[in-house]
Every structure is written in structure tokens, then in C-alpha cells.
């Protein structure tokens, strides 16, 4: 067990250093097709969580610059308004809206989802970007561990509750969930976004909604600087920009669905492996149904497998 864990950590370190850094992005970008990013999103509605900074901000700006109506879901009103004004000014798109919601509160997530679905508008793209990496254990007012509340419970609850809006945008609707590279070093108990995406793709296979997870690489975001100062300092100058981190999110939002595989994991505009070789993490995906049952019960939602 110890040897396998040590292998996972070492293999991930090497893989990350060669793939997830700015130099990795520049290397992969040699194969990118310029025309892939020239598709317009006029008339499409997009919802981006954690949109006031980092990859979420770059994503919201990228979608708005292509004509989309963008709903920025942010916790802090002041920072959200500053980001909103910046994106409107930079893109010339007035159809960018700010929605305030603290994703650590399931009650707020449910309240927002009810309000959003009552608009009776199609939702073409949902980007589950918001994420936390707090090292000190903190419990929310609703009794959930803070990282779990934001990274898993809110992502699951929001996606499930806005499904009626997504179905209205079928067959072009899609959910893009930003995942952590930490999944490569752990079985299915820490980072559930990739397995959740697989589960959603299977559950909603007949609804005309595509589900994709992606890794942004190691980007120089405020979140990384705060949560992983060692990594930020060690890779100073070789971390990706927020726009490089958001590149694959935007790419996934723009492509025709025939080019994509629902349930797949993407990195730098290409489908990527979900497990490192010999890491012993693949078998844990079989646990997903029982884990979803637990999450659903915690979130007070009824999961229909």
C-alpha cells in the first residue's frame, strides 16, 4: 500500500511537471486548431460558478467574447460586480449577469436553482468551476465539511436542480466540470468530479445533455497561490495563465457534440486518461453508485440511478 501510494505521488509529480505546466500547454498548443475557437455562442445561455476570479473569470470572459449570455455565479457581491464590469467593458457584451450565491450553503444553492429554472430559459452550458482547497478543517452552518460542501455537494446539487433548464437546450446542452489533478494520486474518495461526470453521462444519456470533466493544468490562480503556496513558488514562471487554464473549458463549450465523448475527461483540448498506469485507482470507480446515494442523501435530493 505504501509503495503504491509512493508510486502514485512520484508518477503524478513527473506527469504534472511535464504536462500541467505552462511549458506543457505551449507544447500541446502546437496541435491546436485555430478554427475550433472561432465558433460563436450568440443566443446561447451559459452559467459559470466561481466566475469572479481565476479560471472562472477567464471562462466567463471567453464565453462572453463569443456572444453568449453569461450568468456569473459568485459568492462575494463586491468582487462579483468588479468582475462583471470588467468583462462587460472588455467584451462589449451587455448580456453578462451577476448572480450571488454562497456555494458552501446548500440552501443558497437550492434557492438559486429554483430562481434560475423559474426563468424558463434553456441553459446551453453549465460550467462547474468553483472549488476550494482549505487545509484547516472547517464545518459549515449546515454541518458539512467546507471543501466537501463546495467541491462536491454544491456541484452535485446545482447540476441536478438545473437539469430542466439544460434539457430545454438539448441536444446542444452540456455540463463542464473542472476537476483537480489530485485525483491521480487517490482512489475515489477525494475528488469525485470525474466519476460524477461519468455517472451523469450514463444517467442522462437519453436527455440530450453532454457531460465532460476537464483538468486546467497548474494555473497561476488566486486559489493556487493561497492553497498551494509551495507549488506556486516552486513553479513561479512556469504556471499557466488563467486563460491557458480556461482554454479547454471554452473549447468544450464551443465544439459540436459529435466531436466529444460524454462522460470523458479532457485536458488541453483532447480526451485524457482518468488514471495513471499502475496507480491502482481505477477499480474504485465501481463505488460511485453507493457514493452518489450518500451525497444525494446529504444534499436531501433523491438520486434516480
Indicate if the pLDDT at residue 18 is higher than 90. no
Predicted confidence band of residue 181 (pLDDT cuts 50, 70, 90) = very low
Strands 265-267 vs 69-74: parallel, antiparallel or unpaired: unpaired
Range from 15-24, 100-109, 132-141, 267-276 that averages highest in pLDDT: 100-109
Q: What is the pLDDT of residue 228?
A: 57
d(CA 116, CA 169): 14
Q: What is the pLDDT of residue 273?
A: 86
d(CA 128, CA 148): 14
Predicted confidence band of residue 221 (pLDDT cuts 50, 70, 90) = confident
Q: Report how far Cα 263 is from the mean position of its chain's Cα atoms.
A: 13
Domains and CATH numbers, the chain: 2-298 (3.40.50.720)
Cell of 199: 455517472
- Please tell me whether residue 89 adopts helix, strand or coil conformation: helix
pTM of the model: 0.88
57 CB burial (10 A radius; 0-12, 13-18, 19+): buried
Give me the mean pLDDT over the 151-163 stretch: 96
Per-residue pLDDT tens digits for 82-104: 999 999 999 999 999 999 999 99
d(CA 20, CA 183): 14
d(CA 246, CA 129): 10
DSSP states along 96-129: EEEEE--TT-HHHHHHHHHHHHTT-----EEEE-
**Which residues, in sequence order, are bridge partners of residue 267?**
215, 270
Strands of 265-267's sheet in order across: 96-100, 69-74, 45-49, 125-128, 173-178, 209-215, 265-267, 270-271
Radius of gyration (Cα) for the chain, nearest Å? 18
d(CA 300, CA 298): 5
Give me the mean pLDDT over the 125-129 stretch: 97
Indicate if the pLDDT at residue 305 is higher than 60. no
d(CA 189, CA 247): 28
DSSP for residue 169 = T
Q: Are 151 and 193 in contact (CB under 8 A)?
A: yes
Predicted confidence band of residue 226 (pLDDT cuts 50, 70, 90) = low
Average pLDDT score, the chain? 86
Amino acid at each position: 500500500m505504501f509503495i503504491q501510494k509512493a508510486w502514485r505521488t512520484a508518477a503524478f509529480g513527473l506527469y504534472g511537471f511535464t504536462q500541467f505546466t505552462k511549458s506543457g500547454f505551449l507544447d500541446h498548443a502546437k496541435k491546436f486548431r485555430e478554427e475550433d475557437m472561432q465558433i460563436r455562442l450568440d443566443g446561447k445561455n451559459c452559467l459559470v460558478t466561481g466566475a469572479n476570479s481565476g479560471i472562472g473569470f477567464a471562462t466567463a470572459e471567453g464565453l462572453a467574447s463569443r456572444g453568449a449570455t453569461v450568468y456569473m455565479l459568485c459568492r462575494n457581491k463586491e468582487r462579483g460586480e468588479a468582475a462583471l464590469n470588467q468583462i462587460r467593458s472588455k467584451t462589449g457584451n451587455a448580456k453578462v449577469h451577476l448572480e450571488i450565491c454562497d456555494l458552501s450553503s446548500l440552501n443558497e444553492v437550492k434557492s438559486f436553482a429554483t430562481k434560475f429554472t423559474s426563468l424558463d430559459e434553456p441553459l446551453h452550458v453549465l460550467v462547474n468551476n468553483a472549488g476550494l482547497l482549505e487545509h484547516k478543517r472547517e464545518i459549515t452552518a449546515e454541518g458539512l465539511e467546507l471543501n466537501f460542501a463546495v467541491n462536491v455537494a454544491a456541484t452535485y446539487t446545482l447540476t441536478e436542480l438545473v437539469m430542466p433548464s439544460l434539457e430545454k437546450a438539448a441536444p446542444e446542452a452540456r455540463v463542464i466540470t473542472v476537476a483537480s489533478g489530485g485525483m491521480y494520486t487517490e482512489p475515489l474518495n477525494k475528488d469525485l468530479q470525474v466519476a460524477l461526470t461519468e455517472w451523469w453521462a450514463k444517467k442522462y444519456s437519453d436527455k440530450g445533455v453532454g457531460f465532460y470533466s476537464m483538468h486546467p493544468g497548474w494555473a497561476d490562480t488566486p486559489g493556487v497561490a493561497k492553497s498551494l503556496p509551495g507549488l506556486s513558488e516552486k513553479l513561479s514562471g512556469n504556471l499557466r495563465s488563467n486563460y491557458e487554464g480556461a482554454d479547454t473549458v471554452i473549447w468544450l463549450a464551443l465544439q459540436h457534440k459529435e466531436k466529444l465523448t460524454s462522460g470523458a475527461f479532457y485536458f488541453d483540448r483532447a480526451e485524457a486518461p482518468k488514471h495513471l498506469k499502475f496507480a491502482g485507482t481505477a477499480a474504485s470507480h465501481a463505488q460511485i453508485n453507493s457514493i452518489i446515494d450518500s451525497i444525494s442523501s446529504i444534499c436531501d435530493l433523491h438520486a434516480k440511478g
